[in-house]
Structure 1
Amino acid sequence: MATHNTTITSHNRKLSLDELHLSTEIRDKLNQLIEEFTFIEALNKLNIPVDNKILLHGKTGCGKTATAHAIGSALKKEVITLNLGGFVSSRLGETGKNIAEIFKKASYGNAVLFIDEFDFIGKIRDYDAKDSGEMQRLVNILIQQIDNLPDTSLLICATNHVEIIDTALLRRFQIKLYYELPTVGQLDSYYDSILVHFPEDVNTIKRAYNISYAEAKDSAYQQIKANVISLEKKKLQ
């Protein structure tokens, strides 16, 4: 399987870290990460390793993928995206080889390797007992690749189900960031950032809470579009 068939390229505008709605704790840790890579040569001279293995976990739609791409933009590094759920082959031996090739590409390019649905290995280990041995070998290959990743490259993995991931894999991550549903205040700020771009006659919406940023964005735009269409219909009457 060629590497270009395993990666996903999005043409949507990538948000910067400053544009993301993140908790203070997550933002502080990401700023530290960016600074470590910015001054990596000074740290290397003192044999101080940078933290280059990050696990983003928690609620879906709360910014994990956007964070990975924002980090890539901040570091001016290519982001190689691998969706593990759509990548694991029925021929598991080939999957291990393909994963090794992608890590090799990330290493040579000093890139950001973003692995989404990182929990998929944990999930499929329960599907069929006869595959458990092969799956364990795949986990071992993944561990080996993570351990051999050079400091100049960055591994970011995302999952909504951290509890089912092999503990041997979890130990490899120096930074683990938990993404939870935004508070009422955070969602109000997010809604305001969307609505400010539209005229007052279409930006009146009903705000929903206890949802993710992605759900809030969808809800806001659906209502704005409905308002625009309603106004256009009135013009035709």
Structure 2
Amino acid sequence: MGIYDLMIKSKEIELSLDQIHFSQVNEDTLNQLLNEFKHFEALKKYDLPIDNKILLHGHTGCGKTATAKAIAKKLNKDIIILNLGGIVSSRLGETAKNVSNIFQKASRDKSVLFIDEFDFLGKLRDYDDKDSGEMKRLVNTVIQLIDYLSNDTLLIAATNHIEIIDKAVLRRFQLRLKFELPSRKELDSYYDELLNRYPEKLQDIERKYDISYAEAKDIIHREVKKLIIEWEEKKAQN
């Protein structure tokens, strides 16, 4: 594996934005973002910058990674996925260089750069004194890279712990979308959407609430598979 975890071509992304459940606030913000990129040249004539730095934060399993991929698909851009915590070298100086190389590649290709586990930058307090200097230099490097990111490149960062991210870094993001656990009504709508794909005899499944969309999907798949296996076993016994 290279300096980034994964690069996905836009045509290889299956899930689209209209298949993801958003709050009205998040949907409106994303529509504005997409329209700005759509009319990039018109805005450029008036020296108006694009809001090209967006932070997705909130509960795990609520669609942050899926959203980043779907945005790339909508914009017809390739996406580079970087797990920030996963590339930290034992020699921290190399980490700053690696991150710089990733930003440069994203800018050259006008890609979407998606940085997961972005809260890693806020964990300076967890490092020994001997490492803190290098970690601070890494944070400063990331700040500079964000500041000088080309306007036609989209940076999306995701975190489950926005509260521990360095405030100087947070200020660089023009847009912040909060992902929260879906309401009972939202989950019912999602359950209906999932279950309608199956025959009626497979739809009588107990629904759970106060969970994420990802958890709800896992429950449905697990219970549907269980029912199918039970019926297959009965058929085999007859």
> Does residue 1:60 correspond to 2:60, yes or no?
yes
- Secondary structure (helix, strand or coil) at the match of 1:227 reads helix
Partner residue of 2:167?
Answer: 167
**Cα 1:14–1:206, aligned 2, differ >3 Å: closer, same or farther?**
same
**Residue pairs, 1:149-228, within 5 angstroms:** 149-228=149-228
Q: Deviations over 1:67-115 (max 9, x none)?
A: 0001000000010000112111111100000000000000000110000
| CA displacement at 1:130 relative to structure 2 | 2.0
Partner residue of 2:5?
Answer: 7
Partner residue of 1:107?
Answer: 107
| CA displacement at 1:124 relative to structure 2 | 4.9
**Residue pairs, 1:23-42, within 5 angstroms:** 23-42=23-42
- For residues 223 and 129 of structure 1, the distance between their equivalents in structure 2, rounded to whole angstroms, comes to 50
- For residues 4 and 110 of structure 2, the distance between their equivalents in structure 1, rounded to whole angstroms, comes to 19
Could you tell me which amino acid in structure 1 is paired with residue 56 of structure 2?
L
Could you tell me which amino acid in structure 1 is paired with residue 176 of structure 2?
K
- For residues 10 and 153 of structure 1, the distance between their equivalents in structure 2, rounded to whole angstroms, comes to 15
> Does residue 1:146 correspond to 2:151, yes or no?
no
- For residues 170 and 34 of structure 1, the distance between their equivalents in structure 2, rounded to whole angstroms, comes to 21
- For residues 207 and 129 of structure 1, the distance between their equivalents in structure 2, rounded to whole angstroms, comes to 49
- For residues 77 and 117 of structure 1, the distance between their equivalents in structure 2, rounded to whole angstroms, comes to 22
- For residues 10 and 105 of structure 1, the distance between their equivalents in structure 2, rounded to whole angstroms, comes to 14
Could you tell me which amino acid in structure 2 is paired with residue 6 of structure 1?
Y
| CA displacement at 1:125 relative to structure 2 | 4.0
- For residues 205 and 128 of structure 2, the distance between their equivalents in structure 1, rounded to whole angstroms, comes to 48
**Cα 1:150–1:44, aligned 2, differ >3 Å: closer, same or farther?**
same
- For residues 71 and 38 of structure 2, the distance between their equivalents in structure 1, rounded to whole angstroms, comes to 12
- For residues 230 and 10 of structure 1, the distance between their equivalents in structure 2, rounded to whole angstroms, comes to 38
- Identify unmatched segments of 5+ residues in structure 2: none
| CA displacement at 1:8 relative to structure 2 | 2.3
8 Å contact 2:52–2:174 — kept in the other structure? yes
Partner residue of 2:229?
Answer: 229
TM-score normalised by L of structure 2: 0.95
- Identify unmatched segments of 5+ residues in structure 1: none
- For residues 9 and 214 of structure 1, the distance between their equivalents in structure 2, rounded to whole angstroms, comes to 23
When structure 1 is superposed on structure 2, of 191-200 and 99-108 the one drifting more is 191-200
8 Å contact 1:68–1:156 — kept in the other structure? yes
**Cα 1:13–1:150, aligned 2, differ >3 Å: closer, same or farther?**
closer
Partner residue of 1:47?
Answer: 47
- For residues 222 and 85 of structure 2, the distance between their equivalents in structure 1, rounded to whole angstroms, comes to 29
8 Å contact 2:3–2:102 — kept in the other structure? no
Q: Deviations over 1:171-225 (max 9, x none)?
A: 0000011000000011111111111111112222111100001111101100000
- For residues 188 and 174 of structure 1, the distance between their equivalents in structure 2, rounded to whole angstroms, comes to 33
Could you tell me which amino acid in structure 2 is paired with residue 127 of structure 1?
Y
When structure 1 is superposed on structure 2, of 88-97 and 122-131 the one drifting more is 122-131
| CA displacement at 1:121 relative to structure 2 | 2.0
Moved segments of 4+, more than 6 Å: none
When structure 1 is superposed on structure 2, of 137-146 and 195-204 the one drifting more is 195-204
- For residues 7 and 122 of structure 2, the distance between their equivalents in structure 1, rounded to whole angstroms, comes to 26
**Cα 1:144–1:10, aligned 2, differ >3 Å: closer, same or farther?**
closer
Aligned length: 235
- Secondary structure (helix, strand or coil) at the match of 2:158 reads strand
Partner residue of 1:88?
Answer: 88
Partner residue of 1:17?
Answer: 17
- For residues 49 and 8 of structure 2, the distance between their equivalents in structure 1, rounded to whole angstroms, comes to 32
- Secondary structure (helix, strand or coil) at the match of 2:156 reads strand
**Cα 1:124–1:204, aligned 2, differ >3 Å: closer, same or farther?**
farther
- Secondary structure (helix, strand or coil) at the match of 1:197 reads coil
